[in-house]
Amino acid sequence: MNSNCIGGVLHLRLLLFSTSHRILAAHPKISASRRLSTATMGSRSQLPSPPLAEKVKHEMELFGDVRVDNYYWLRDDSRKNPKVISYLQQENAYTEAMMSGTKKFEDEIYAEIRGRIKEDDISAPLRKGPYYYYSRTLEGKEYVQYCRRPIPNRDAPSSVHDTMPSGPDAPPEHVILDENVKAQEHGFYRIGAFKVSPNHKMVAYAEDTKGDEIYTVYVIDAETQAPIGKPLVGVTSNLEWAGNDALVYITMDEILRPDKAWLHKLGADQSNDSCLYHEKDDMFSLGLEASESEKFLFIASESKMTRFVFYLEVSKLEEGLKVLTPRIIGIDTSVSHRGNHFFIQRRSDEFFNSELLACPVDNTSATTVLIPHRASVKIQYIKLFSDHLAVSEREEGLPKITVYHLPEVEEPLINLEGGKSVQFIDPVYSVDLSVSQFSSTILRFSYSSLRMPNSVYDYDMNTGESVLKKIETVLGGFDASNYVTKRKWATASDGTEIPISIVYQKNLVKLDGSDPMLLYGYGSYEICIDPDFEASRLSLLDRGFIFAIAHIRGGGEMGRQWYENGKFLKKKNTFTDFISCAEYLIEQKYCSKEKLCIEGRSAGGLLIGAVLNMRPDLWKAAVAGVPFVDVLTTMLDPTIPLTTSEWEEWGDPRKEEFYFYMKSYSPVDNVKAQNYPDILVTAGLHDPRVMYSEPAKFVAKLRDMKTDDNMLLFKCELGAGHFSKSGRFERLQEDAMTYTFMLKALNMIPASGSA
């Protein structure tokens, strides 16, 4: 590739931004006090012995503090060391043996979960140009087909009442790409991007066949599937069309940091692609987005606190990148385009929940405030249309959509007034703006709640009319009216009120403290864990479980400051908030600690590891999925992916204050000789976000030090990454195993071993 890259730095936020977050002699065992049916566990004499990882002393010293990591050898960046692979295989075999007595039950749970799925289905068709685009799933098939169908009367204006014709007289369906065919030769298969060219004649798609999130991009003829040019290898899934003859894409450095943006002319060899920008600061990563108008591409460079943007005019590629928002530490900007103006969402320490500005395309320094900063309302992101602006916001912990009518393109842009809010029915819910047509008056959004399956709506921004276009089919007699959703508030140790979302089956729970509960948490990266629907969760709810989400600090549910108060030297608020939520739920008789299960993934797995060490007595069972648990060691090693970019999330432990603070909560560093509840830990061998060795070391140390004989199971997927297996049914197997583990821990599996 060309090495004449532009120096400097830039910034842009994408929902699909890749690689952004993570993240022996045994002690004598003290007999557990819980009752176990032989059908559930088998006799103790029949249980296999767990693997005991070899101890190899590895000392690490900083600031006069010496840490000993006996399991450092488990880290193998090649993922090929026979000794390491053998240990992981032993752990998998032990988990399989421990779960063998309930395998029949687990299989029935899997069949139950899968039985709720309408296997042959299509997504809500999206009208775009001369076609309706949609995806199709087939009965028994793991993956999707990408399809389109011509619009019969393409000149007619779009309406919320548009319906894609089907049947023998309708224009024929065309399958552009069938993932099932592509996946046949691979144990793992994921398409991370599927981009149709502006003229609808070609498709560029990004393919990962390992789970390591390093993609190959193929360009094909949309009608014939014939390849166009050679594939682009070793890239991210972040790519966009730059007109009909070129692509812009992002590549990563050796620590998997997206650091270079490239311009590729169709038909040219990848080695001749021109580098648009090289971000040399290892605290920053690149993102890429196309404007809704399709006239500009925005390349951004971002850290956790700063974001700045360049623009590339699609009709003038030869002019290269131009600065739109400058690099100013602590200022975060995202950009959109309409007519003669750029729209800029800007966040700073002063305007922490963001304000919305506009500036002329030909004078980017002349900004006008369209929506001022509000301390109680956070602007999440915007979607622009030719005549409207849709704003995704958060207020009092809940997402909302506000729509504004824009003046004619020729008219000046001033303060926006008279925004209309879309109304929703549940007390807690999730809503996201979806892909829509720029020239249309129709806003598409998806809505769900803990009791309401995912629903796609088209909203007429002129009339305010909403029309349901698609609702997820849930088979098996599901009735949303049987489920109750609530929002409660727990008081944290410092007096902060923490929101909790709750759902249960109203005909099964007693609310007297005897009900089993699963409490979920995350609390990092300003990510909002909004309450949405999962059909698989019904297998718990319909067995009398209460499900709850603790919206703890470190997330973004209550605005930017909610995040700021759960990071750096305030990170422990995340853990103590979760404990406070659990204590509140027990006090209010939603459960008891003898019936309380907890779960978190990735940075949420850090949460689970931390609260297990802090309050092991409070939980009956815990599930830590791909957990970021070796925090201090990882954040001290800049050769590990994500480390440098995340010093602005967790802190830089090369500074003494952060070193000792992070050491005080890092789960691997705080395992103690104490009783722990039943624990299930998962990992993916090819995970680029949280190395498999982190959960492996956590489990090995727990095995050596814990003083109970409760279950400690470790399942490492040897052919997957951060997001587990790739097939839609394969992923359900993980749900079935997790639910069986929790029910087993609670002694809720019938003696017959049958669901």
Instruction: Report, as residue numbers or ranges, the catalytic residues.
Output: 602, 687, 722
Q: If you write DSSP's letter for every residue of 367-378 in order, what string do you get?
A: -EEEE--BTTEE
Q: Measuring CA to CA, which residue among 585, 582, 525 is closest to residue 557?
A: 525
Distance, CA of 740 to CA of 749 (rounded, Å):
8
The helices-and-strands tally (H runs, E runs) of the chain is 12, 38
Q: Do the beta carbons of residue 355 and residue 369 sit within 8 Å?
A: yes
Strands of 69-143 (E only): list them. Answer: 121-122, 126-128, 131-137
Q: What angle do CA 639, 643, 647 make, to 5 degrees?
A: 140
- Name the nearest CA neighbour of 19 among 205, 255, 217: 255
Count other Cβ atoms within 10 Å, centred on residue 166.
Answer: 12
Q: 316: which residues sit within 8 A by CB, 6+ positions away?
A: none
Pairing label, strands 341-347, 332-338:
antiparallel
CA dist 357 and 382 (Å) reads 12
Q: What is the DSSP letter of 555?
A: B
Query: How many residues belong to the chain?
Result: 755
Q: How far apart are CA 451 and CA 480, in angstroms?
A: 6
Residues 6 or more apart whose Cβ sits within 8 Å of residue 205: 177, 191, 193, 194, 195, 217, 218, 220
In degrees rounded to 5, what are phi and psi of residue 682?
-120, 160
Give bridge partners of residue 716 from the DSSP assignment: 683
3-state secondary structure of 399: strand
Is residue 104 exposed (0-12), middle (13-18) or buried (19+ Cβ within 10 Å)? middle
* DSSP 8-state assignment for residue 158: P
Reduce the DSSP state of residue 22 to 3 states and report it. coil
d(CA 671, CA 692): 18
CB-count exposure of residue 158 (10 Å: 0-12, 13-18, 19+): middle
Q: Measure the CA–CA gap between 347 and 361, rounded to whole angstroms.
A: 20
Phi-psi region of 418 (alpha: psi -120 to 50; beta: other; left: phi over 0): left
